[in-house]
Amino acid sequence: MAVPIAVLDCDLLLYGRGHRTLDRFKLEDVTDEYLVSTYGFPRQFICYLVDLLGATLSRPTQRSRAISPETQILAALGFYTSGSFQTRMGDAIGISQASMSRCVANVTEALVERASQFIHFPKDEVTVQTLKDDFYGLAGMPGVLGVVGCTHVAIKAPNAEDLSYVNRKGLHSLNCLMVCDSRGVLLSAETHWPGSLPDSTVLEQAALTSHFETELHKDGWLLGDSSFLLRTWLMTPLHIPETPAEYRYNMAHSATHNVIERTFRTIRSRFRCLDGSKGTLQYSPEKSSHIILACCVLHNISLQHGLDVWSAPATGHMEQSEEEYEQMESVDSEACRVRQELLLTHFS
């Protein structure tokens, strides 16, 4: 009886049956320069990912010809860093479109499973103090535990009726809330918020807020721009500075907060699938959110491996939020008192 062609594995059609694992591409067969130019990362970094994710990517499968962890990781890195269509990147390593899609999905989920391992706030006192000292060294702003900001990543329209992902520019996007340290290491990343939500609403509903209000540090704060409301744990700039101390505070705040903008530029420059230059992410909001988070994990791992040169601004379309909002002072009297004390103690 004839077998319908639709149930056949594309890779079996292309390569036939043979070894159980498909090792079409070998790291040792290419130069370091080729790896960096094609996959965005050097050999040592790729080998680290193979060690980190290998067991997960080698899970038992019903498929007769599994793709090796190394090939899966190369396929995913190629997609993340080039933003190329999966068919073209799949051709480069000799796998089909369907297999390329599975590789990206498998590696993405493996990285997301490890997000808390690589993206988290420090907990021990020594590391927390080092965090503050590093921020203070930038522009003299004391007590800073991180800088927070939002950035939009364009996605395809989920469906015609769902307007929750349409941002103020009329584009479908995810609004991603992130916090980083003075080197650009991400301490928090929430990548799933619909693009229609303003930054202040995202923060109000975020796990980050619950984390700071119920657990974190009474002797420090995050820095956020004026799209957020002032809180005891979140220092924002003064809308209309009047005194020399207020001007000095705003200048130190701006110079320190700029780290998150540079981090956004680095992420979208390194992971071109996010910058919009090759089109929007062609996945559901949930899968797109996971791809963004996977790139955030890779960003932190790359910094751990010394790949920490700040990238030049990219020309794509992944943009920081530039919301139109009415400037208003916080009604939180305690937050106002904390900021005023900071002004008097450190900037007067």
**Torsion angle defined by CA atoms of residues 110, 113, 114 and 115, in that order, rounded to the nearest 10 degrees:** 120
129 and 278 share a domain?
Answer: yes
Where is the domain boundary, 117, 141, 159? 117
Of residues 196, 218, 191, 195, the one with CA closest to residue 207: 191
Same domain, 109 and 219: no
Give per-residue pLDDT as tens, 119-147: 999 989 999 999 999 999 999 999 999 99
Confidence band (pLDDT; 50, 70, 90) for 162?
Answer: confident
* 178 and 258 inside one domain: yes
Residue 192 belongs to some domain of the structure: yes
Residues 49-98: pLDDT tens digits? 999 999 999 866 545 457 889 999 999 999 999 887 666 666 666 777 78
| Residue-wise pLDDT tens digits, 267-307 | 999 999 998 777 789 999 999 999 999 999 999 999 999 98
Assess whether 49 and 123 both reside in one domain: no
Residues 272 and 213 in one domain: yes
Which of residues 102, 117, 132 is at a domain's end?
117
* 337/214 same-domain check: yes
CA-CA-CA-CA torsion sign (60, 65, 70, 72):
negative
Does residue 259 lie within any of the structural domains?
yes
The answer to whether the pTM exceeds 0.75 is: yes
Q: What was the pLDDT predicted at 214?
A: 84
pLDDT (mean) for 26-38? 82
Question: Does 300 map to a domain?
Answer: no
Say what the pLDDT of residue 165 is: 94
Question: Looking at the domain assignment, is residue 3 inside a domain?
Answer: no
> Are 100 and 86 spatial neighbours (Cβ–Cβ below 8 Å)?
yes
Same domain for 38 and 97, yes or no, is yes
Indicate the SS3 state at residue 94.
Answer: coil
Residue-number span of the structural domain to which 164 is assigned: 119-284+329-347
112/211 same-domain check = no
97 & 182 share domain: no
Statement to judge: residues 80 and 195 lie in one domain: no
Q: Point out which residues pair with 179 in neighbouring strands.
A: 148, 188
Task: State which of 75, 100, 117 marks the end of a domain.
Answer: 117
Tokens of 218: 């009474």
- For residue 292, being part of any structural domain is answered with no
Residues 181 and 47 in one domain: no
Q: Per the domain annotation, does 316 fall within a domain?
A: no
- To the nearest whole percent, how much of the chain has pLDDT over 70? 80
* Termini Cα distance of the chain: 87
Task: Determine the pLDDT at residue 99.
Answer: 85
Domain assignment present for 5: no
pLDDT-derived band at 310 (thresholds 50, 70, 90) equals low
338 and 197 share a domain?
A: yes
Q: Is residue 168 part of a domain?
A: yes
Count of structural domains within the chain? 2
Which are the contacts of 5, defined by CB distance < 8 A and separation ≥ 6?
none
- The pLDDT assigned to 332 comes to 81
